[in-house]
Structure 1
Amino acid sequence: MDQPTVGILHPGSMGAAVAACAATNAADVLWCETGRSTASVERAARFGLTSVATLAELLDRSDIVISLCPPAAAESLAREVAGYRFAGMYVEANAISPERTQRIALLLPDATVVDGGVVGSPPVGGKTPTLYLSGPAAATERIETLFADTTVRAAVLGTEVGKASALKLSYASFQKTSRVLVALAVGMAREHGVDQELIEVASRRTDSYLSEPQYVAKTAARAWRWGPELEEAADALAAAGLPPEMLRAAASTLARWNDAKDSELTLTDALDRLAQP
């Protein structure tokens, strides 16, 4: 099979790194520079992505389009793509609920939609995330081939659109809420001057996130992405008849750090911001 041309919408820290892995088995990887930030331009250049002037050109030249954007933008982006009658393969790889993924598939009647969910950190510095896939068998097989022999491991879950999104959000609901609970526990302990003792207690249990309080600052820097992801997971819980309140509370807690986007905070800074919204 000829090597496909791939388009990435839009290359954030995860999207750019995933796109760079796709370049291993692609003829070219395109992105649309119009309206993007200076940071995006620099990131795309660093990962060797090819800039095009318009979304129309990207869609016209791409066989496969991968959507990796903030969750809130997933549907509006798909609607924009649909407006150009894109008829290639559309990988909906955002952290959104299965129901939203299925709605997006209906928005793109001319395209072949594959449901994707990335579990793990961006594929840089030795990190090897897994891209879970579900959808038409021939399409998921083609995406597996695209990422063969790269640091992104592709794994197919079946033919039902929604499965990959469900797995991604199920994992995120545990992992991200656990990090929020660490921040609250350490913040409460600090208020009473027993934070070091708390960390010492937790360090005897090496399998506990509580033994890694330094990660609180990283949680704060990622809160702008994690909060909407947990809202999506809460929607998925509610749709399954399960109580969503815990995840909505975690998302509300993360919102206190929204202005810390991608910043280099100390643990003290992060806890101060959490206590002083």
Structure 2
Amino acid sequence: MRCAVIGLGEAGGVYAAALAASGHEVLGHDPAGTATPEGVTRTATAREAVEGSAYVLVLTSASAAPAVAEQCRPHLAEGACYADFTTAAPAVMERLGGTIAGFADVAILGPVPLHGHLVPLLASGPGAEAIAGLLRPLGAPVEVLDGPPGSAMARKLLRSVFMKGLASVVCEAVSAGRAAGDERWIRDEVARQLAGDGQAVIDRFLTGTRTHAVRRAQEMRDTGAYLDDLGVPAEMTRAAEQTLLRLSRN
């Protein structure tokens, strides 16, 4: 099957290489000086890659997604699947889906450098089943959502509230622990708090945070002052203080 991959960076290169290794004819385009994966034919333009391809996988930056769709749309083969793997906002995905018949919004749920093409994916839109059919034989876990384009990205961004927020909090806590000479202890404490019954932890956070918001806001104010003394940036600590103050007023 002929596939076009637009964007041969970190993620695009992985998917292009995996498709080529599985026997697909893969044409790749990237105006940047990225490496060309083994087995992939690099084209000078997006049009050359897209014309005649049954699948078009777009793995560019989110900001480039509308322009890439505009470039590719006139040259898509009839019935082609156009799968946008970027992190463009749900509203952007929905709008692009309204202009391309075989559009699929594909959300990557994990780090590609760690998992490669086996990273879990969510897909939505009229082309979702098609892209799932292409990638599942490669071993990629693809969950197809019953929703319009943008549904997959909406779930990814909901997940990002937790995943990126948690990562930022852990970075701040470990930095503070290192500055205080207690890095090993805080690492162990973070791991202990995240272990066990996940749903019970969530329920405890949801109920306890609101119930004790006033006291905890003061504690986070003191924590921010302590991090100042340690010379550690306290953005997440102060954001938590403001959240607790808001909850205390509701």
The two structures have a TM-score, normalised by structure 2, of 0.68
What CA distance in whole angstroms lies between the structure 2 residues aligned with 1:93 and 1:140? 11
Match of 1:105 in 2: 97
Match of 1:78 in 2: 69
Q: For the pair shown, which has the larger CA radius of gyration, 1 or 2?
A: 2
What CA distance in whole angstroms lies between the structure 2 residues aligned with 1:135 and 1:201? 42
Match of 1:175 in 2: 163
Match of 2:58 among 67, 71, 84: 67
What CA distance in whole angstroms lies between the structure 2 residues aligned with 1:97 and 1:204? 34
The answer to whether residue 1 in structure 2 is matched with residue 7 in structure 1 is no
What CA distance in whole angstroms lies between the structure 1 residues aligned with 2:116 and 2:82? 27
Write the letter of the residue equivalent to 1:102.
E
The answer to whether residue 29 in structure 2 is matched with residue 36 in structure 1 is no
What CA distance in whole angstroms lies between the structure 2 residues aligned with 1:144 and 1:24? 18
Match of 1:197 in 2: 185
Show the 5 A alignment for 1:31-180: 31-33=28-30, 35-37=31-33, 40-41=34-35, 44-46=36-38, 48-82=39-73, 84-87=74-77, 88-106=80-98, 108-109=99-100, 111-122=101-112, 128-136=118-126, 139-180=127-168
Equivalent residue of 1:158, what SS?
coil
Q: CA deviation at 1:80?
A: 2.4
Q: CA deviation at 1:66?
A: 0.8
Write the letter of the residue equivalent to 1:99.
A
Equivalent residue of 1:133, what SS?
strand
Q: Is the 8 A contact 2:47 2:71 kept in 1?
A: no
The answer to whether residue 10 in structure 2 is matched with residue 18 in structure 1 is no
Q: CA deviation at 1:124?
A: 6.6
In the TM superposition, structure 1's runs of 4+ consecutive aligned residues that sit over 6 Å from their partners are 123-127, 272-275
Equivalent residue of 1:7, what SS?
strand
Specify every segment of 5 or more residues in structure 2 that has no aligned partner in the other structure, as ranges: 197-230, 235-250
What CA distance in whole angstroms lies between the structure 2 residues aligned with 1:58 and 1:273? 49
Q: 1:104-133 deviations in whole A, cap 9, x for unaligned?
A: 223x34x42111111123277677312211
Q: Is the 8 A contact 2:10 2:113 kept in 1?
A: no
Which stretch shifts more, 22-31 or 119-128? 119-128
Write the letter of the residue equivalent to 1:119.
L
Q: 1:155-210 deviations in whole A, cap 9, x for unaligned?
A: 211142111111222222211221111111222333433333322433444639xx
Q: Is the 8 A contact 2:84 2:103 kept in 1?
A: yes
**124 and 62 in structure 1: CA distance in 2 versus 1, 3 angstrom threshold:** farther
**59 and 149 in structure 1: CA distance in 2 versus 1, 3 angstrom threshold:** closer
Q: 1:12-43 deviations in whole A, cap 9, x for unaligned?
A: 2222212333346663111025x321xx22xx
Q: Is the 8 A contact 1:92 1:115 kept in 2?
A: yes
- Among all aligned residue pairs of Structure 1 and Structure 2, give the percentage whose two residues are the same amino acid: 25
Q: CA deviation at 1:93?
A: 1.5
Q: 1:210-234 deviations in whole A, cap 9, x for unaligned?
A: xxxxxxxxxxxxxxxxxxxxxxxxx
What CA distance in whole angstroms lies between the structure 2 residues aligned with 1:273 and 1:58? 49
